[in-house]
Structure 1
Amino acid sequence: MSDIETDERVTLLLVGDAECGKSTFLSRLKSGKRPAPSQTGAATDTSLPETLRDSDQPFIYDIRFAKKKFTLELYDTASPNQHWTSLQPDVVVVAFDISNRNTLGGLKAWRDEITRHFQHGHGERIPVMLLGLKRDLRTEGEGIIYPQEAYRIAQELRCDRYAECSAVTGELLAETFEDLARMAGMATTTKGGQTDGGCSIL
């Protein structure tokens, strides 16, 4: 007899400012295409799959985590079927553009919106992950956003986890998706997807 439990459905909502890289990130995940690393370890394939249409939502992924099989329904804030505030997500991911410091300014507002719309009881807290996109565009300069700073912001916003990746080069993309799957899988347990005291960094 198999020890894989019956299928469950987990809803994940991806929010963030326009042009922060959400659509490219989702397109890469949905295609399943992984850039092949070169001899130096850097990804050489920077071609992107066709961008997903908003009408394709929700984006569906079948996942196995901790001997559980479940379906991940992933929504972007541009969902044409319903306004994102009408969803009932199990996990929320707040995205920002690593190459654009201006996108940091909107993170607190997004976190406040999550609290406002999805946390209805005293002490209730939905699992939240902070996600830095466009890692390939991180360059040395005055406005650079280092992982340490993003990690600190994640803690200040009471996020459970921080991750960053590049959908163009594929750097840390697989690890980020594993992190999403882990949070979604934990959301199916009695404990839920929240961590014990802060966020974890990849």
Structure 2
Amino acid sequence: MADPPEVKILLLGDADVGKTTFLSRISQGSASHSSKGPISLLRDNDQPFIFDISFFNRPYRFEFYDTSSPENWTLLKPDVIVLCYNISSRLSLINVQRAWRKETTTHFTSAKELPVLLLGLKRDLRSEEDPNGIIYPQEGYRIAQEMRCDRYMECSAVSGELVHEVFEDICRTAALGTKKEGGGLSEGGCGMM
């Protein structure tokens, strides 16, 4: 039996937007759906974070890379890029729009074919106390469309809300992108999870 295809998924975004916490929550398995107990954070030195999963009756090995530093990922050839921001920090979304999206097209010559997803993290911090700094789903989706992302998603690793669904959506997109036709789902626009 052949080894499962290795699919590289690169999470990009500012430091402290929640990328590591998201991957740490996923790595804790099915118990991660509840918010009981602390999240044991993964260490950057342990990358890639590997998950073996079957999609479409076929096994895959998903390798997740989490970074906020271009020096760490410019040599990587990802199959999917996930741009991450903190829902409670407008600056992190602005940085995704102005810097991170530009970085992907600068460093990856195949960026037009690469699926690019926009992920809002720390959904649990969305509150009515500071309506000017909070990004609501409609705005995140609109910005994902403007940036020509393939999908917009959001979740909370702390509460576990939508983590499983987002992880599954990322992996499904990555699996579809590895088919012979290639990736690049954004021809028709952006989908929302």
TM-score by length of 2: 0.90
1:83 CA drift (Å): 1.8
Alignment partner for residue 191 of structure 1, among 158, 181, 184? 181
In structure 2, stretches of 5+ residues that fail to align are: none
- For the 8 Å contact 1:119–1:126, the answer to whether it is kept is no
Alignment partner for residue 14 of structure 1, among 11, 15, 23? 11
SS at match of 1:150: helix
- For the 8 Å contact 1:130–1:162, the answer to whether it is kept is yes
1:35 CA drift (Å): 3.1
- For the 8 Å contact 1:10–1:70, the answer to whether it is kept is yes
CA deviation map 1:17-58 (0-9, x unaligned) = 01111111111111113234xxxxxxxx24332111111100
Alignment partner for residue 94 of structure 1, among 80, 83, 91? 83
1:180 aligns with 2:170: yes
Separation of aligned partners in 2, 1:177 and 1:120: 24
Identity across matched positions, percent: 52
1:120 CA drift (Å): 4.8
Q: Which moved more, 1:188-197 or 1:143-152?
A: 188-197
Runs of 4+ in 1 over 3 A off after TM superposition: none
Larger radius of gyration: 1
Aligned-pair RMSD on alpha carbons?
A: 2.0
1:147 aligns with 2:129: no
Separation of aligned partners in 2, 1:5 and 1:66: 16
1:200 aligns with 2:188: no
Distance 1:102-1:59 versus aligned 2 partners, 3 A rule = same
Alignment partner for residue 54 of structure 2, among 64, 81, 91? 64
- For the 8 Å contact 2:85–2:92, the answer to whether it is kept is yes
Separation of aligned partners in 1, 2:94 and 2:133: 13
In structure 1, stretches of 5+ residues that fail to align are: 37-44
Distance 1:120-1:162 versus aligned 2 partners, 3 A rule = closer
Q: Which moved more, 1:82-91 or 1:192-201?
A: 192-201
1:188 CA drift (Å): 1.5
User: Which amino acid in 2 is paired with 1:21?
Assistant: G
